[in-house]
């Protein structure tokens, strides 16, 4: 499964060249978490491949860093 992440600068422009780290944490299984490799696809779109994520409720945390940004964002993801 590929999960796209669109990363934008504050002014709404796509951000290429950032370091984007992603962790996935299974909310229902407290010990189930994993780091995900991100791949820049261009025009601010990064993607993670998460073939080993099991069905359930996941919390995804993305860490975005470059020379002007150091941000963290979390969102929920339900895999059925």
How many other C-beta atoms can be found within 10 angstroms of the C-beta atom of residue 49? 13
Count: domains in the chain: 1
28-40: per-residue pLDDT in tens? Answer: 887 778 888 899 9
Structural domain that includes position 53: 2-79
Q: What percent of the chain has pLDDT over 90?
A: 48
Look at residue 51 and tell me whether its pLDDT is greater than 80. no
pLDDT for res 70: 93
What is the CATH number for 26?
Answer: 2.60.40
Banded pLDDT at 76 (limits 50, 70, 90): very high
- Alpha-carbon gap, residue 80 to 62, rounded angstroms: 22
pLDDT for res 79: 84
State the pTM of this model.
Answer: 0.79
């Amino acid at each position: 499964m590929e999960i796209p992440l669109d990363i934008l600068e504050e002014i709404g422009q796509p951000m290429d060249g950032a370091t984007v780290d992603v962790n996935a944490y299974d909310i229902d299984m407290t010990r189930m978490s994993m780091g995900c490799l991100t791949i820049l696809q261009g025009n601010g779109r990064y993607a993670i491949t998460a073939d080993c994520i099991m069905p359930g409720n996941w919390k995804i945390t993305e860490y975005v860093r470059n020379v002007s940004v150091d941000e963290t964002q979390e969102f929920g993801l339900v895999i059925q």
